[in-house]
Structure 1
Amino acid sequence: MSDPARPERIDFSGFEAALRRQAAERAQAARTPAVPTALAFGSRLTEVELTWIEKKLEHWIRFGRIVQDRILTRRTRVVSFRPGAIFAFVRWSANDYGTISSRIDIMRAVATGEPYTTLPFVRPGGDILLHIEGWPKVSQVLAAIDAVETAGVDPCDAAPDHWRHVHNRIAAGHQPRPYTMERHKAWLRRMEIEG
């Protein structure tokens, strides 16, 4: 029987493990010479700052191959992508009356020396394949991402031209054409020929 004067114990084991991991990483960094993290991968990484404040401000990655993940605070972390990686970054915010803004960007991480477009919370920026604002249109993009996964293709591996197509069709008020396995095989074949 629990004592009403004594509160229940809260499990902080996951948070404590993350703090121990960060302390170990700091200790390792202190023992090694100061080299920018991106140089360990041979090129600059694209970093995305993610924030999660339940029902107020939510930034998350819908898809993408993350190569680094740093926890800054309980609500903020930074994820990194290698040059050439394609990822989807969703930003949503609300107040007491409902949604203020919602956006989704599908972008390609750029290598050192490549031109790029800046975007909030993305350092340095990227090659933007799709940029959609407003929840009805964002939900259409999320459905298009689900359709690519249903076709048996990882959205990271889909042709960049497909995401440009989805952007243009939704911006024009039309339904995007589905991404099929046949289109994906044609994209892979094109990459072999160009490669």
Structure 2
Amino acid sequence: MAAVVPSPFASLVDHEGLTRVSLAYVAHRLNLYLRFGEPAYYVQHDRWRRMAAFRPAAMFCRIRWEANDYGTVRWQLMVMQACTSLDAAQRIPGVRPGARLLLHADGEQQVRATLSCIDAIEALNIVLTDTSPAYWRTLGNRLAAHLPLPDYTAARHAAWLAGRALS
């Protein structure tokens, strides 16, 4: 578990080179949280807001749920990879300075389908942050094209780890 840094001491922590992700919770209105990822540290701003900081190349998943008086108005899931200042990164609201967007699911159906894929990977006892970035890109493209979603198997994961070890 990452250390929680109290807000008054946030300036003492080295922010250089880290990707900062804003998180929030307002009961029955907004829930912006991490589904997976291993932050270097957290900063608790107040009861509702906090910030997670990720080292370069770290993978994480942020979910955004919003509602109004009539029900849910937004479901969003993004799988991202933190970048260095030299990498090409996309500007994403609440992610500073930006990140490499691997998967973007918008709407209840796409988010639920992605969450079931995430649950299936966890059922294989695979750490989600070690999953192949190419799988998340493929999953996002299949979601956008309304095609059948690919399975992430133990064999695919072993091949990814072997390739990563060689490079």
TM-score (norm 1): 0.79
Q: CA deviation at 1:81?
A: 0.5
Q: CA deviation at 1:22?
A: 2.6
Within a 5 Å distance, the mapping from 1:1-195 to structure 2 comes to 22=6, 25=9, 29=12, 37-39=14-16, 44-194=17-167
Kept after mapping to 1: 8 A contact 2:7/2:43:
no
Q: Which runs of 5+ in 2 are unaligned?
A: none
Letter matched to residue 168 of structure 1: N
Letter matched to residue 42 of structure 2: D
* SS of equivalent to 1:38: coil
Deviation per CA, 1:9-37, whole angstroms, max 9, x where unpaired?
xxxxxxxxx8xx737737x94xxxxxx61
Letter matched to residue 70 of structure 1: V
Q: CA deviation at 1:111?
A: 1.0
Q: Which runs of 5+ in 1 are unaligned?
A: 1-17, 30-35
Q: CA deviation at 1:177?
A: 1.5
State the aligned residue count.
164
Kept after mapping to 2: 8 A contact 1:104/1:133:
yes
The alignment's C-alpha RMSD in Å is 1.8
* SS of equivalent to 1:112: coil
Return the index of the structure with the highest Cα Rg.
1
Identity among equivalent positions (%) equals 34
After superposing on structure 2, the runs of 4+ consecutive aligned residues of structure 1 that deviate more than 4 Å are: none
Q: Relative contact order (C-alpha < 8 Å, sep 6+): which is higher?
A: 2
